[in-house]
Homo-oligomer: A and B are copies of this chain.
Amino acid sequence: MAISAQSAKAFEDHNHQRCCGEVLEQAHKLATSGGLRLTPVRRRTLEILLEEHRAMGAYEVLERLAKDGFGKQPPVAYRALEFLVENGLAHRIRRLNAFAACMTPGQPHAPAFFICELCNCVAEVQDVSVRQAVEAAAAGIGFGVSRANVEVVGTCPACHKGRDQ
């Protein structure tokens, strides 16, 4: 049995201010050490994604950026988001046509996303056993994995509880 289910901050009571702060700091470190340019739009985009543990559509991000004085056209948001995704600072959630900040930037990645269909919160979990199962299945059919999306829809602990009343 492989190591499984790490903490899913999104579903736990936690100091979110600090939670964001840590991720932003980590992002900053990665930028300086890795030669990435975390420009104002990009940084602001990451901050916006970090505000809540949920995914945001590109146009929702764009609206926020426009209010903050950045450009008003879709490429402004899409470019910033693309940069974040390519550099491991955000993830794209295909199921939602949306983006979420990465909660463990810079670390080895095999994320699974758990999306609550009631409150829309999204938890990113680094789960080795899911990845291993995918790799094993791929090996069984001679498939070479380059990227895997694991997106699970259901109810988060809080909403799950509420529903059973």
Contacts and interface: CB of A to CB of B under 8 A. Distances in A.
Interface of A: 2, 4-5, 7-8, 11, 94-95, 112, 114, 116-117, 123, 125, 127, 129-130, 132-134, 136-157, 160
A130 B112 CA distance: 12
A123 B133 CA distance: 16
Contacts of A156: 142-143
B8 A149 contact: no
6 contacts: A4-B136, A8-B141, A114-B143, A125-B141, A130-B133, A149-B150
The CB with the most chain B CB atoms within 10 A, among A8, A94, A144, is that of A144
A123 B136 CA distance: 15
B134 A152 contact: yes
Nearest to A159: B144
B160 A142 contact: yes
A7 B140 CA distance: 9
A143 B155 contact: yes
A136 B94 contact: no
